[in-house]
Amino acid sequence: MRNFTNVHDLGDLQQALKEAFEIKKDKFRFTELGKNKTLLMIFFNSSLRTRLSTQKAAMNLGMNTMVLDVNQGAWKLESERGVVMDGDKPEHLLEAIPVMGCYCDVIGVRSFAQFESKEDDYSEKILNQFIRYSGRPVFSMEAATRHPLQSFADLITIEEYKKTERPKVVLTWAPHPKALPQAVPNSFAEWMNATDYDFVITHPEGYELAPEFAGNARVEYDQKKAFEGADFIYAKNWAAYTDPNYGQVVSKDRSWTVDTEKMALTNQAYFMHCLPVRRNMIVTDDVIESPQSIVIPEAANREISAQTVLKKILESL
């Protein structure tokens, strides 16, 4: 595997899961694989988990790591070609990207949707420029439309906790004060649709995901109905995708917050969220602190998903 941007890059998903569980059993079995190899992690947006878990995964494989926060100390980057650069951006991505490629063997990029142009976001303009111009394997650390390292960790977690072969997994929208990208729910749906789980998406009207991500998932507009018999509740906020509201908050309806009463409708479901999470907007204190909450083991599996992906990339060098 050279680049990792979505579920299909992994190839056989069951095989990748098997590899992930082998890595989890012995994280230090492949410490020679990354010797003298350098990972460069580029952040256009904030991060806690992705930064730490990916760096740890690279260290487990014996790699050296460098982290660049583009917005803290680097030159502001222009991304449009043809622009007369007389504004506040002294450097162009078209030079910056190949230069970054000179100093490393593998590049990870975090670049969220900017909500200025749906076309730019959904064509993964920034991520694809890294793939095209860096000369290095590139993996997504959450791009405009997907967060595959998160979804892989989510899948690993569900496999660890599921009590039936074909669990009912429910992705629920929940309220949030600010506009958030669709990357996490898109990606989660893409990965769930690649399994044979019973997968249901619930959200208020106007929050439909792009059809290429929702796929054949069942959409249920009644959140309580969706929760009935669920084995996993995966909460996330996202801003509207559909026009004319692309990138906007069209509801902050707190009746969608995940609480104890709603969790009681489920089949003693586990509660999941990628974090960071705003308590008592997305989920109540009681639910996130309950024994059914598996947000911490879910975050722990970010190290495993990153290490599995990095191992596959290193093997292809």
Binding site for ligand AN0 (CB under 6 A): 142, 180-181, 183-184, 274, 276
Strand partners, 201: 171, 219
Of 50, 134, 284, 308, the one binding ligand CP by CB under 6 A: 50
Residue 150 binds to ligand CP (criterion: CB under 6 A): yes
Cβ proximity to ligand AN0: between 135 and 177 the closer is 177
Cβ proximity to ligand AN0: between 184 and 217 the closer is 184
List b or e across 12-50, with b for residues whose CB sees 16 or more CB atoms inside 10 angstroms: eeeebbebbeebbeebeebeebbeebbbbbbbbbebebb
Q: Which stretch in 41-49, 86-94, 200-208, 256-264 sits in contact with ligand CP by CB under 6 A?
A: 41-49
Q: Which does 313 bind (CB under 5 to 8 A by kind): ligand AN0, ligand CP, none?
A: none
Of 17, 24, 27, 47, the one binding ligand CP by CB under 6 A: 47
Closest approach of Cβ 80 to ligand CP, in Å? 26
Q: C-alpha angle with apex 189: 245 to 259, nearest 5 degrees? A: 80
Cβ proximity to ligand CP: between 19 and 298 the closer is 298
Strand partners, 77: 91
Strand partners, 69: 43
Type and span of the H or E element at 20: helix 13-25
Instruction: Tokens for 178, please give them.
Output: 């600010």
Q: Which does 1 bind (CB under 5 to 8 A by kind): ligand AN0, ligand CP, none?
A: none
Type and span of the H or E element at 172: strand 168-173
Which residues of this protein are in contact with ligand CP, per CB under 6 A? 47-50, 142, 150, 274-276
